Amino acid sequence: MRRRLVPAAALLPFALLLTACGGASSASTGTDTDGTGSVTLNVGDQRGGSEAILRAAGELKNLNYKIKWSTFTSGPPLLEAVNAGAVDVGGVGNTPPVFAAGAGSKISVVAAWHGTSRGDAILVPNDSKLTDPKQLRGRPIAVAQGSSAHYQLVASLKAAGLGLADVKVKYLQPADALAAFTSGKVDAWAVWDPYTSQILRTRQGRVLTTGEGVTNGLTFQVAAPSALKDPKKAAVIKDYLARLRRATAWVTDHQPEWAKVWAKDTGLPYDVALDSVKRTNSTRVAVAVDKPLVASEQQIADTFTALKLIPQKVDFGDFVDTRFNGDLPPSTTPAKG
């Protein structure tokens, strides 16, 4: 059967295809603080991320500090900015902090959310003969190195009795991976939402397996230690995290509203945005940065160290700060949905 090809650029909007590139753009929100002078919180974000969800939920109102938003294309460059002190806090998935820690970066995980891993998937073309992950042996698979999908691929292969050495890994950022997938240059693509929802909605592929049951489903806010040492900045980070937790909870009961905002912000078709919200975004629960979380991330770190993709042993507990936990539930709390 000849595969019907659709140009990569036609599948995903330009804003999301930018994940193949580096760099950041900036914008500002809020007003000066009262009292002893102004505080500006430098926040690292991704397109359709924290700023969009805070705005949609009304949580950017009545700020008594400024937020300077820097929009990054993916987690690794965002964490590079955190390490450099150019960003005070920013959101990433479960794997970039492990690689940053392995590189000795100055980062601290300060907040976490637990969601489902159904949007983290290994996709295959509709006409593929593959029906079981065990059949991936010897097959070329696209994945973004250091991404949450990278660990999901490793974990899914392990569950199928395979390792990275048993497949032909092609390290590609999403735009290039999308082109390779739709043109038949790879047999599978390990990726996350909204890419998963986009491929399924456009009927360019199907799910071979997901990360459900094999990955921890965690996402993080990561701060610069230098910002945490500043009492004013630390107080502002505490307020920012509280707002972000409320905004994330708001999505659960406002899925169509959030999908509409997200679609407008990213250029995603509304139906794809809503699919992704239902599958992934509305499942997240704010949880504590606790010992089970550290142990789960340590497992990811040890896996990549054993694969020699991280150059040194990582003690993930050295890269967390628990001061903002409050009365949050444990990290093992089941996701919504």
Report the chain's mean pLDDT, rounded to a whole number.
Answer: 88
Q: What is the pLDDT of residues 28-66, one digit of tens each?
A: 555 443 443 489 999 999 878 899 999 999 999 999 999
DSSP 134-158: GGGTT-EEEE-TTSHHHHHHHHHHH
Whether 4 shows a pLDDT value over 70: the answer reads: no
What class, spelled out in words, does domain 21-116+217-319 have in CATH?
alpha beta
- Tokens standing for 136? 């991936």
Distance set, CA 196 to CA 40, 124, 145, 190, 336 (Å): 36, 11, 17, 9, 19
Q: Note the pLDDT of residue 1.
A: 35
Query: Confidence band (pLDDT; 50, 70, 90) for 86?
Result: very high
Q: What is the pLDDT of residues 174-218, one digit of tens each?
A: 889 999 999 999 999 999 888 999 999 999 999 999 988 889 999
What is the average per-residue pLDDT within 107-132?
Answer: 94
Tell me which CATH code domain 8-13+117-210 carries: 3.40.190.10
Give the three-class secondary structure for 12.
coil
Give the sign of the dihedral formed by CA 316, CA 321, CA 324, CA 328: positive
Surface-to-core class of residue 123, CB atoms within 10 Å of its CB (0-12 exposed, 13-18 middle, 19+ buried): buried
- Tokens standing for 192? 């996350």
pTM of this prediction?
0.86
Surface-to-core class of residue 192, CB atoms within 10 Å of its CB (0-12 exposed, 13-18 middle, 19+ buried): buried
8-13+117-210 and 21-116+217-319, same CATH topology: yes
Provide the residue ranges of all domains of the chain, joining segments of one domain with +.
8-13+117-210, 21-116+217-319
